[in-house]
Structure 1
């Protein structure tokens, strides 16, 4: 019997699947990144689910912030 292991070890972000179509304005991306940092700062480090939610939220905000910075710099 074989086991499908394709989902095991799948990356959090796949540029082909998750490409960013919308890039927020830099001020909005920065404001949202700061808000997410403040929101997730109190997450319980011993709560696996809270850490996963924080990691995903922060990763998404960081991607948006980098995209906004690249857009403003003309890259």
Structure 2
């Protein structure tokens, strides 16, 4: 028997719940570099490590895109 997980779904990104604060592009680039170094030695055969890296990179990428959009609207 399988469990119904459809009601347990929670999206990775939800604009109504996630912060609208966008750090500067310079700050985010430094954070992205640190994050890349943090996960550089992650074991590709370890599902938990890969999931952690993927989620972290996804969130950082969203922040980078938001910072680029904010910078473009100022220019």
Q: TM-score range with shorter-chain normalisation?
A: 0.7 to 0.9
TM-score, scaled relative to structure 2:
0.79
Number of aligned residue pairs: 72
TM-score, scaled relative to structure 1:
0.79
List gaps (5 residues or longer) in structure 2.
none
List gaps (5 residues or longer) in structure 1.
none
Aligned CA RMSD, in angstroms, stands at 2.1
Separation in structure 2 between the aligned mates of residue 3 and residue 52 of structure 1, nearest angstrom: 22
1:12 aligns with 2:12: yes
Runs of 4 or more, structure 1, over 2 Å off, are 2-5, 14-18
Partner of 2:65: 66
Separation in structure 1 between the aligned mates of residue 38 and residue 48 of structure 2, nearest angstrom: 15
Secondary structure at the aligned position of 1:53 is classed as helix
Partner of 2:52: 53
